[in-house]
Structure 1
Amino acid sequence: MRTMLEVNDLSVSFDVYGGEVQAVRGVSFSVKEGEAVAIVGESGSGKSVTAQTIMRLISTPPGRIKQGSVRFDGQELLSLPEKEMQRVRGNQIGMIFQDPMTSLNPTMTIGMQIMEGLMKHQKMSRSDAKKRAIELLTMVGIPNPESRISQYPHHFSGGMRQRAMIAIALSCNPALLIADEPTTALDVTIQAQILRLMKNLQKQTGTSIILITHDLGIVADMCDRVIVMYAGQIIETGTKREIFRNPQHPYTKGLLKSLPRLDQSKNEPLVPIHGTPPDLIQPPQGCGFCSRCDYAMRICQTEVPEFTRLSDTQQVRCWLQQSQGGIRGGKGASA
């Protein structure tokens, strides 16, 4: 399979009153054609900023792309003129935003918001765009699409607005779909419907998907590969099976332990990750998870570990996987 997206050494900061927030720090990953990749982590880990940077939606200022490369289908996006980027955005790369109520235009009908991209990117006539918009609303499960197409976002429920967002994102048959928390604030029944819809659409169209979420249950159901982010950095990657059955980073293990499991005794308590993420205005000199890690060593406080490759598909950034960590010793380890 060819590589659709390749992100290399991406760093993004925001200049605020208190200083420079280093939101994304040296992130590198790739997505292959037809692959579903999850990016998981706590709020503030850099997931959404990474996605918005790929789409070139970071406001400048205060946002600033410090370094890195984002290549989509062999084309560098970060140096692309804005007019050219508009042809990519929505046409070749679609995005489902986190909050459909604030992402949809309240002054435009749902139909017009779908038709707009079709007329601009696909050069469709207004009548053909309307027919296609009705087809898309039908495809995403909106009842009575012929009448719904003339309604405004406030006429739609939360689940229907999210379906409308998916219809807009898929209107031009993008090669890559970025879904940023697509089921946030939806009840579990609607969540299941949205996820089933995305899986079916991926099978039908062969679209690559980047799913940004903190819900590992969704990841287990939808994705092929998992990227774990913490404090603006990728700390572990692997296939879904590797991450769920053989996690290696203490943070990844902590995420899994904090979730309820079907094979878990009802009297067995969930184990939260204690502490809070670091301040990214002054990020830690060493490992970002050091202050919350039960296995932290002296070297973790002063030096950032390199990735250790555990298999062809799994790698982790942790001193526990490197011989130097055991040599230095410290908290939670024998000196």
Structure 2
Amino acid sequence: MSGPDSSSPSDVLLEVKDLHVSFTTYGGEVQAVRGVSLTLRRGETLAIVGESGCGKSVTARSLMRLLPPQTSKIRQGSIRFQGRELTGLTEKQMREIRGSAITMIFQDAMTALNPTITIGEQIMEGIIRHQKLSRSEARKQAVEMLELVGISNPESRLKQHLHQFSGGMRQRIMIAIAAVGNPSVLIADEPTTALDVTIQAQILDLFKLLQRKTGVSIIMITHDLGVVANIADRVNVMYAGKVVESGTVDEVFQHPQHPYTKGLLASMPRLDSDRNTPLQSIPGTPPDLFAPPKGCAFAARCPLAMEVCADFQPDTTSLSGGHGVACWLQDARAKQMVPPNANTFIRSAIG
């Protein structure tokens, strides 16, 4: 069975099919991404969510071919951008796409930006390289972009260095650098993790503003379901290198079908819950991706697991409204068994 995809070919900007990425380490080969498929449509925000180590950031960096070639490898799969296959491009060809058609915002601005040169030079560098403009024209664009992302006195700010900006302003500068070339796709990898809730809300509003003004498509990588609910149109939930559930945010949040998704949602604090009620958690730990399980990777932690879950990987079952889930509970071929040890967190999530 194939996953859901209700979009027409003309709407799809980026399409990933059966992507497998591994890393060579002293301890062996880590299978970090194991058959990920996703689509990004024009003008939408797609969130990729999951706990640390699930493969979401590796997936994002694979789209831009930013993984270290010495230790990483795309073992199989396809990444097509505007109909063009990216996995076979040379590094020179990819450099023409990075920073212009596809750009990326990283989590930590202090390590992603250069503290030794001015902010203006860093913004203008991409403009001059990709748009072939003069320095005066590039400077004008840089000023306009700083104004757009909400930095006051942009003319004087261009001359300043990274240490002269707060954390929220640094993130705005990162967004300005990524968006100044009017890219088709903007990938944001945990862009609000280190920010307080007030600044986080401002940054998310800025992404929405950019999308309205430029029509850019956004891939938002996050472990924060609150961010997903605030900004995304669709969401892919990842676990152990695989997409286990996908669909619109409303479908996945209001009608979750995979036990892992239900567990994530049950662990979120709720405004309508008693403040003395403890948050629920998912017992156990993710599997070792040096030797992934042959069946469903979540089976060992899942209170609804059946015998088939441990022995075979589930296909993605298409539900209504483009909602897809990779779980044997949704597969008509699985025997209907009474699940053992249905823990409280699942019962609560199911309601």
Q: Counterpart of 2:151? A: 142
**Residue 269 of structure 1, CA deviation:** 2.3
The separation in 1 between residues aligned to 2:213 and 2:270, in whole angstroms, is 32
Alignment of 1:121-136 (within 5 A): 121-136=130-145
Match of 1:243?
252
1:85-164 residue pairs with structure 2 within 5 A? 85-164=94-173
Q: State the alpha-carbon separation in 1 of the partners of residues 130 and 69 from structure 2.
A: 25
Does the 8 Å CA contact 1:298/1:328 hold for their aligned counterparts? no
CA contact (8 A) 2:17 2:78 kept: yes
Is 1:300–1:319's contact at 8 Å kept on the other side of the alignment?
yes
Give the secondary structure class of the aligned counterpart of 2:333.
Answer: helix
Distance 2:335 2:133 in 1: 63
Q: 1:325 to 1:205 in 2, by over 3 A?
A: same
Q: How does 1:18-33 map to 2 (within 5 A)?
A: 18-33=27-42
Amino acid at match of 1:90: G
Q: Which amino acid aligns with 2:305?
A: A
Q: CA deviation at 1:265?
A: 2.4
Q: How does 1:35-50 map to 2 (within 5 A)?
A: 35-50=44-59
Report the equivalent of 1:74.
83
The aligned counterpart of 1:55 is 64
Q: 1:177 aligns with which of 181, 186, 202?
A: 186
**Paired residues of 2:257 and 2:325 also in contact (CA < 8 A):** yes
2-structure distance, mates of 1:124, 1:115: 9
Task: Give the letter for the 1:93 counterpart.
Answer: I
Deviations 1:81-122 (A, max 9, x none): 211111110100111111111111122211111100000000
Distance 2:77 2:114 in 1: 32
Q: Secondary structure at the match of 2:218?
A: strand
In the alignment, which residue of structure 2 is the partner of 1:304? 313
Q: Do 2:303 and 2:339's aligned partners in 1 also have CA atoms closer than 8 Å?
A: no
1:189 aligned to 2:213? no
Work out which of the residue numbers 279, 285, 301 in structure 2 matches 1:292: 301
> Which residue does the alignment assign to 1:252?
261
Give the whole-Å Cα distance in 2 for the aligned partners of 1:59 and 1:115: 26
The answer as to 2:221 corresponding to 1:212 is yes
> Sequence identity of aligned pairs in percent?
61
Report the Cα distance in structure 1 between the residues aligned to 2:192 and 2:34, rounded to whole angstroms. 27
Q: Alignment partner for residue 264 of structure 1, among 267, 273, 286?
A: 273
4+ aligned runs moved over 2 Å, structure 1: 265-269, 323-333
Distance of 2:196 and 2:170 partners within structure 1: 13
Q: Secondary structure at the match of 1:326?
A: coil
Query: Post-superposition shift, 1:330?
Result: 6.5
Residue 145 of structure 1 deviates from its aligned partner by 1.3
3-state DSSP class of the match of 1:325? coil
Query: 1:108, 1:287 → 2: CA distance?
Result: 49
SS in structure 1 at match of 2:213:
helix
TM-score w.r.t. the length of structure 2 is 0.92
Distance 2:324 2:180 in 1: 36
Q: d(CA) in 2 for partners of 1:127 and 1:268?
A: 59
Unaligned residue ranges in structure 1 (runs of 5+): none
For residues 236 and 332 of structure 1, what CA distance do their matches in structure 2 show?
A: 23
2:297 maps to a residue whose letter is G
Distance between the aligned counterparts of 1:295 and 1:256, measured in 2? 16
Mapped partners of 1:292, 1:119: distance in 2: 51
Q: How far off its partner does 1:329 sit?
A: 6.8
Does 2:328 align with 1:324?
Answer: no
* Residue identity matched to 1:38: A
| Rounded Cα–Cα distance in structure 2 between residues aligned with 1:153 and 1:8 | 39
Aligned AA (2:282): I
Please tell me whether the aligned partners of residues 298 and 330 of structure 1 are also in contact (alpha carbons under 8 angstroms). Answer: no
Measured in 2, the distance between the counterparts of 1:75 and 1:202 equals 23
* More displaced 10-residue stretch of structure 1: 132-141 or 251-260: 132-141
Q: How far 1:325 moved relative to its partner?
A: 2.8
Do 1:298 and 1:329's aligned partners in 2 also have CA atoms closer than 8 Å? no
Q: Tell me the residue number matched to 1:6.
A: 15
Query: Does the CA contact (< 8 Å) of 1:290 and 1:301 recur in 2?
Result: yes
For the 8 Å contact 1:115–1:126, the answer to whether it is kept is: yes
- What is the CA–CA distance in structure 2 between the aligned matches of 1:61 and 1:311, rounded to whole Å? 43
Letter in 2 for 1:53: S
**Residue aligned with 2:320, SS:** coil
Partner Cα distance (1:171, 1:252) in 2: 36
1:299/1:328 contact within 8 Å kept: no
8 Å contact kept, 2:49–2:235: yes
Report the Cα offset of residue 218 of structure 1.
1.0
Asked if the contact 1:183/1:194 (under 8 Å) is kept, the reply is yes
Shift of 1:312: 3.5
Post-superposition CA distance 1:226-259 (Å, at most 9, x none): 1000000000001111011000000000000000
Across the aligned residues of Structure 1 and Structure 2, the Cα RMSD in angstroms comes to 1.3
